[in-house]
Amino acid sequence: MNKKRILIIGPVWPEPTSSAAGTRMIQLISLFLSEEYEVLFASAASKSDFSFDLIGLGVQEYKIKLNDNSFNVFLSEVSPGIVLFDRFMMEEQYGWRVQQECPDAIRLMDTVDLHCLRLARQQAIKTGNPIDLFTDIAKREIASILRCDISLLISEVEMNILQKQFRIDPSLIYYLPFLEEELTEKDIQNWKTFEEREGFVFIGNYLHEPNWNTLQILKTKIWPVLRKKLPAAKLNIYGAYSSQKVMQLHNEKEKFYVHGRADNALEVIANNRILLAPIQFGAGMKGKFIDAMISGTPSVTTSVGAEAMKGDLDWNGVIEDDFELFTDQTVKLYHDKNWWLASQQNGVRIINERYGKSQFTKAFIGTINTLSLNLTAHRQHNFFGQILMHHTANSTKYMSLWIEEKNAKKT
């Protein structure tokens, strides 16, 4: 086993120009490369035109198969010291095979966001019922967290939910937010000025349901009111995977412009005075706000949108859940240069004090090194995880082997 070799198993090949999840994965890969790890990335998915050039970074790429013994052979050949599952579905699919072939490898999982939280909020919005976290998705996700040695959380709110609601031992979860370069005076001086900007922007990956819902809110609830108050302003909509249902919302008479995918998210956001994001449900953290802060663009969002992002600091704009107040405050921020400039500086503080990567990388690698030295004791402390690994691995294993056998008979 090569302790300085990490295998990352992803549901897709990373697309940092398409989603915050893609950016997050490239940040993690870069972190391990900077610590002189040999990084291998494997996925059963097909690549897209927007898949990141991992080989250019020095990462080895592997195409793997679902429900196929060839993955076991691959594991035994590469013998990684760490396996990182990109979201719980990958742990479900491949975890038992990793346990079988590489029992001494550290099993990490990057949750990206708590799927059970996002889906519970979505269901509550649809039905009008209270949020119910204790769903079948939660059972699957929490089981994956228990089976792993450490799961990475991007949100302090989700860390709290896991400990308070689901009674997860703190030793099994680790807070590792977005890892950003700190903003310098030079960066700030290069920002477009208040006068050089006009209009509003929203950006998101429309395969992600919260973004599609937010776009509909903008179209039907927010923009009709804002347009009357600011008749000269435009709303520019960008985003990856803008399907026909997204593009058909384009309406030049309403100054509602749907542009599709942005070649450079930071550039298109920086051309606008305010990022609008009346997000109604979701989880994790929103990369669009990181991009807005990095480009010096204040934002107006909801409490769910800004959740866990600012800590005790002031937001870089407005947080408001009432639609009427949302539009009123947006108009004020749009016109008030001093407030707008102060909001910009709030964004600088949030990036530098909460996401500056130098604050997190050393401690995280230290945790991994300590875990490597004390893996047996760590796993004994997590006896429920061992129970789940014993039972779930067998049930998942035999389902997977059944599918494998079935597939073999077809060929």
Express each pLDDT in 275-305 by its tens digit. 999 999 999 999 999 999 999 999 999 999 9
Measured CA to CA, the distance from residue 268 to residue 260 in angstroms comes to: 12
Q: pLDDT band at 2, cuts 50/70/90?
A: confident
Express as a percent the part of the chain with pLDDT over 90: 92
CATH number of the domain located at residue range(s) 185-354 in this protein:
3.40.50.2000
Fold agreement between 2-179+358-410 and 185-354: yes
Q: Report phi then psi at 263, rounded to 5.
A: -65, -35
Q: pLDDT band at 398, cuts 50/70/90?
A: low
More confident residue, 1 or 125: 125
Q: Under DSSP, is residue 173 helix (H, G, I), strand (E, B) or coil?
A: strand
**What pLDDT digit, counting tens, does each position of 194-238 carry?**
999 999 999 999 999 999 999 999 999 999 999 999 999 999 999
Residue 396: predicted pLDDT: 64
Indicate if the pLDDT at residue 90 is higher than 70: yes
Indicate if the pLDDT at residue 390 is higher than 90: no
Residue 38: predicted pLDDT: 98
Measured CA to CA, the distance from residue 103 to residue 116 in angstroms comes to: 28
Residue 3: predicted pLDDT: 83
Indicate if the pLDDT at residue 403 is higher than 80: no
Indicate if the pLDDT at residue 395 is higher than 70: no
Indicate if the pLDDT at residue 411 is higher than 80: no
Q: What is the dihedral of CA 252, 256, 261, 263, to 10 degrees?
A: 80
More confident residue, 196 or 410: 196
Domain ranges in the chain? Answer: 2-179+358-410, 185-354
More confident residue, 4 or 389: 4
- What are the CA-CA distances from residue 82 to residues 103, 120, 213 (Å)? 10, 32, 37
Q: pLDDT band at 392, cuts 50/70/90?
A: low
**What pLDDT digit, counting tens, does each position of 22-44 carry?**
999 999 999 999 999 999 999 99
Q: Under DSSP, is residue 4 helix (H, G, I), strand (E, B) or coil?
A: strand
Residue 28: name the closest of 176, 197, 214 by CA. Answer: 176
* Angle of helix 209-217 versus helix 115-127 axis, rounded to 10: 40
Contacts of 124 (CB under 8 A, 6+ apart): 130, 131, 132, 281
Identity of the residue numbered 4: K
**Whole-number average pLDDT of the chain:** 95
2-179+358-410, what's its fold? Answer: Rossmann fold (3.40.50)
Indicate if the pLDDT at residue 250 is higher than 90: yes
**What pLDDT digit, counting tens, does each position of 132-156 carry?**
999 999 999 999 999 999 999 999 9
Distance of alpha carbon 50 from its chain centroid, rounded? 17
- Helix runs in 41-87, H state only: 54-57, 70-78
Express as a percent the part of the chain with pLDDT over 70: 96
Q: pLDDT band at 1, cuts 50/70/90?
A: confident
